Structure 1
Amino acid sequence: MAAAALILITTFAMTPQTTQAQELSIEPGATITSRFIYRGLDLGSSPQVQPSIAFNYGDFNFTLWGSHPLSLTPDGSDYKEVKFWMNYTFDLGNFTLTPQIENHFNANADLFDFDEDTTTHVFQASVRAAAKGDVAPDFLLGYAFWGADGFEPTLYLEAGVNFSVGDTGLRAFLSGQYSEEGGFVDLGYEGDFVFNQLGLSASRHLRISDSISVPMSVLVAINPKTERAFTAFSISF
């Protein structure tokens, strides 16, 4: 928890002072996705609805987000996740820098259970650098530092590049992680550094009528370590 406090203190200490008026905006939204793919793992193994409420004030963001299955799998699994994150984005000219703190929580357990022997909460601090331009690389460094009994701190790295072809936005990415046995989203990695995702996402607006269009995206990814392949189609409102 000390790491979380340090991230928050650093974030607000670095926040530039301004006299320009800022307004609070609240943005509800939802995504329906055929699969919830996260770090080389199919969470829930079923279509999911992912509602969210984002609170924005200037460059500060606080978001409440969840993912819930639309149907049960044959084995009766009903994995549900609720999480929140807060971040601040610094505009540094040619790129942005976004420190963030987030909490992952398995919503089948008790929300206020923070006992290390029984909790399903995981806290993670991260920082993301994103370049601007027609071809824009980005890099994320994350560190999951607290969780349930036996949880091992986990380092996560992800690098991507954003570009477009016509009206379709594309992002190619590669990610990896390291922890001792028992880390966050550890699929039997046995304490090794592993590449857990290699993928490509494509997004564009799906036109429904002359005046209505909605964002849609397609993800194709593999987990090089487990040799599993994934695809997902998502639409957002």
Structure 2
Amino acid sequence: MKKSINHHINNLPAIAVLIALIGFSGLSSPKAQAQQVDFGADMVNRYVWRGLDFGNAASIQPGIEFSQGGFTVGTWASYAMSPVSAGASELDLYASYNFGAVSIGLTDYYFPNAGVGFFDFSDDGGAHILEPSLSFNGTENIPITLYAAINAYNDPDNSIYIEAGVPFSVQETDLQLFAGFVPAESAYYATTKAAVTNIGLSVQKELTITENFSLPLFSSYILNPYSETSFLVFGFSL
């Protein structure tokens, strides 16, 4: 994908660190009680991301997130459970700011088992891929979601991904139809041309266990028309 932001943006790792520091600096402020801290983990039968299979293995996906006002900073990971060798390991850092229905974000993708050290921030095969993104989260009058992201650092193709979704509900179940595509050739998304890589339906529901505890369940049917593969993913959150 040659239409790009210049991928030689040498200060992007510093920007990512700065954003994280700004987010964590609020922990010692007098308004710390206004912050929200979330942590937990998802258990999934398979890790499928944007229509790509990250190994035929069940995975555990922990996360920690801090938020205050419209600002959020966090970390998320995915680790294959069994067989470990079949799945990818991933450990990401991210930050975002919400302006009502619109959000901007930056994600640092890091793959521990890729054979590159964490502190290798080079833009030619280094350990980190930086992806700024822009999303529209929908409103009452415009009930759709839109998401666009570009690999702006350490991806020669500067790969772009764009996705649209239509959320709706049936009784107490939340659903969303979605479709995502890559608008040009991308080694990152395993395409040789513009392609639709991710269409499907996701479902979420709370399973009541006791009066004070419920278990969030989710499932997605995912079709990648370009690679002619499909997946049925199921998971729950703790």
Asked if Structure 1 and Structure 2 have the same fold, meaning a TM-score greater than 0.5 normalized by the shorter chain, the answer is yes
Q: Which residue of 1 aligns with 2:28?
A: none
Matches within 5 A, 1:2-151: 4=12, 23-72=34-83, 76-91=85-100, 96-108=101-113, 109-133=116-140, 136-147=143-154, 151=156
After TM superposition, give the deviation of residue 85 of structure 1 in Å: 0.9
Cα distance between partner residues in 1 of 2:46 and 2:65: 22
Identical-residue share of aligned pairs (%): 25
Cα distance between partner residues in 2 of 1:178 and 1:97: 22
- Give the conservation status (yes or no) of the 8 Å contact 2:159–2:186: no
After TM superposition, give the deviation of residue 135 of structure 1 in Å: 7.6
- Give the conservation status (yes or no) of the 8 Å contact 1:44–1:80: no
TM-score in terms of structure 1 length: 0.83
- Give the conservation status (yes or no) of the 8 Å contact 1:134–1:163: no
SS at match of 1:110: coil
Distance 1:234 1:3, change over 3 A: farther
More helix by share: 2
- Give the conservation status (yes or no) of the 8 Å contact 2:165–2:179: yes
- Give the conservation status (yes or no) of the 8 Å contact 1:48–1:70: yes
Partner amino acid for 2:237? S
TM-score in terms of structure 2 length: 0.82
SS at match of 1:111: coil
Q: Structure 2 regions of 5+ residues with no counterpart?
A: 1-8, 23-30
- Give the conservation status (yes or no) of the 8 Å contact 2:57–2:86: no
Partner amino acid for 1:136? P
What value does the CA root-mean-square deviation take over the aligned residues? 2.4
Partner amino acid for 2:56? S
Q: 204-213 or 52-61: which moved more? A: 204-213
- Give the conservation status (yes or no) of the 8 Å contact 2:119–2:127: no
Q: Structure 1 regions of 5+ residues with no counterpart?
A: 13-20
Cα distance between partner residues in 1 of 2:144 and 2:11: 27
After TM superposition, give the deviation of residue 180 of structure 1 in Å: 3.9
Cα distance between partner residues in 1 of 2:233 and 2:167: 19
| Displacement over 6 Å in runs of 4+ | none
Distance 1:46 1:138, change over 3 A: same
SS at match of 2:152: strand
Cα distance between partner residues in 1 of 2:217 and 2:66: 23
Matches within 5 A, 1:217-228: 217-228=218-229
- Give the conservation status (yes or no) of the 8 Å contact 2:54–2:87: no
Q: List per-residue Cα deviations over 1:157-191 (Å, max 9, x = no partner).
A: 10001000000000000000134453x2x22x22x
Q: Which residue of 1 aligns with 2:215?
A: 214
